[in-house]
Amino acid sequence: MENYFAILVVLVVIGLVLSKISPVKRKGGNVHDNQLASVEVADFFRKPVMNASESKLYEFLLHVVNKYHYPVRIYPQVSLGEILKTDNKSAFFAINSKRVDFVIADRDNIPCAVVEYQGAGHWQNNAKKRDAIKKLACEKAGIKYFDIPATYTGNELKPLIDFFDFVNAKEG
């Protein structure tokens, strides 16, 4: 009898653990119902928008933009689905969940450039393919794409500063 009770306790504990780690699906529910059920049982925690090295680059870009009064805005961590559109559903799904480190937009909030910082954690898994997708989609939309290496110097940032000068001349 004690063995049955012990087995029952173990099964209940396993059931509780599994309910915390796997999404709950409600019978007959749609995707949003299933997503809501998953969110209801999950714990969420805040995390920084940018890591320390991204923040350093962001602060530098803001400093340059403010110092020289460039007519642009800089937005960090933007999903490509927010700045690109296409009638091709498959292509949209390919870019929708991908994020870029910084979007440079003009005064009308039209994106004109993207900055990808190639920091230490950037080369995980299939990052090269993800970056190729981002770069191609941006370039097809007429958005300039800048890769900034993890250990950047003034030389690596010069094309971006030149771009700011170009936008400034165009707006002025």
pLDDT tens digits, one per residue of 36-61: 999 999 999 999 999 999 999 999 99
Nearest 5°: the CA angle 71, 72, 76 is: 160
Helix ranges restricted to H, 22-141: 31-41, 52-67, 89-96, 127-140
pLDDT tens digits, one per residue of 148-159: 998 888 888 999
Positive or negative CA dihedral for 154, 157, 163, 168? Answer: negative
Which parts of the chain have pLDDT scores under 50? Answer: 26
Q: Residue 117 has what pLDDT?
A: 94
115, 102 Cβ separation under 8 angstroms: yes
